[in-house]
Amino acid sequence: MNSIKEKLLSVEFRTRAFIPTLIFSCLISIFLYWALLVGFQFMGQKKAVQREIKPNLFASIVVEAKSAFVWDAVNQRTLYEKNADLPRPLASLTKVMTAVTASSMAPELRSVTIKLTDLSPEGDSKLKVASIWDIKNLIDYVLLVSSNDGAHALAASVGAWSIVNQDNLGAEIDRQKFIKKMNVLAGEIGLTGSTFRNEHGLDTRESQGGAYGSARDMALLFEYAIKNYPHLLEATRYSGLAISDLQNDNYLAENTNEVINFIPSPIASKTGYTELAGGNLVVAFDSGLGSPIIISVLGSSEKGRFKDVLTLVDTTMKYLQNE
């Protein structure tokens, strides 16, 4: 027993055992290092796979609208689309193009006098003959209450101002000049699927809309308006406003978008509805720190358009939070 112990403790034995022990230890270290690397790599791949298979929240939603589009204006990316490039009757979404065109043709402070002929389109928005309006207030009123009369007055008046040295060509010719400008400007903006036959969007006959455009076009129109005329659609952020003409007559303007108060940080909105168009709605809202999201739905029902937009708003916010 002592001889074995002495042998194990001898210098000669420990010297001979050192090299195999060192080699064994190195091999163990290399193996453990390799195992750690493989483990970390596997975990990274697993996380990457988990990110790749993150569920598409938009895939499971159902909207009544025949066309819909969700646009991230800051990152210039589409978050959701459904028949987004199919031209459809716009109804009163047309008035956004009317407002943009009026602002481009008459940027200086001008006034509009409401004439009897301006009250000819369908619908009564409580405008009074001979009332005089600042153009900005009239645009606010037109967009909030969706006034066909006010849109007609804008088209006729601004069309007349744009004709140099015109010799009383008549309100209808002035109006047609304005509508022509709407179409020219739509092309310049890049609204490739949009055509405007009138300034208010009312159907011209049972089977023909007053204007046509796609869900994508309407999102791009809102983006253009917000970027180039920051205050143009501002009034449509509110559920209602008191607006005055230049004679200090007050008008209570209630937003036709009945869910505006349920939109987070709203920037702009506009409704549209006719029998031919169905229910249309476009909203823009700030998803956080100056990041506008624009949602457009076309061809829903009168009530379904509001449900559709709220569904898309909710899904968009969840999608952005999970990125």
- pLDDT tens sequence across 169-228: 577 888 999 999 999 999 999 999 999 999 999 999 999 999 999 999 999 999 999 999
* pLDDT score recorded for residue 93: 98
Q: What is the pLDDT of residues 127-145, one digit of tens each?
A: 999 999 999 999 999 999 9
64-321 in CATH: which number? 3.40.710.10
Token code pair at residue 290: 């100056």
Domain coordinates of the chain in residue numbers? 2-52, 64-321
- pLDDT of 4 > 70? The answer is no
Taking each helix axis from N to C terminus, what angle separates 148-161 and 135-145, rounded to the nearest 10 degrees? 150
Token code pair at residue 24: 């064994």
- Residue 201 to residue 180: CA distance in whole angstroms: 14
- pLDDT of 283 > 80? The answer is yes
Which CA distances in Å does 153 have to 98, 119, 141, 158, 281?
Answer: 11, 8, 12, 8, 24
Q: What is the pLDDT of residues 168-180, one digit of tens each?
A: 557 788 899 999 9
* pLDDT score recorded for residue 323: 81
Which CA distances in Å does 242 have to 237, 245, 303?
Answer: 14, 10, 26
Supply the pTM of this predicted model: 0.82
User: In the block, which residue shows the tokens 């987070």?
Assistant: 264
Beta bridge partners of 240: 254
- Residue 94 to residue 211: CA distance in whole angstroms: 7
Average pLDDT over residues 59-71: 96
- Residue 114 to residue 103: CA distance in whole angstroms: 18
* pLDDT score recorded for residue 309: 98
Q: Which of 42-56, 77-91, 183-197 has the lowest mean pLDDT?
A: 42-56
* pLDDT score recorded for residue 124: 84
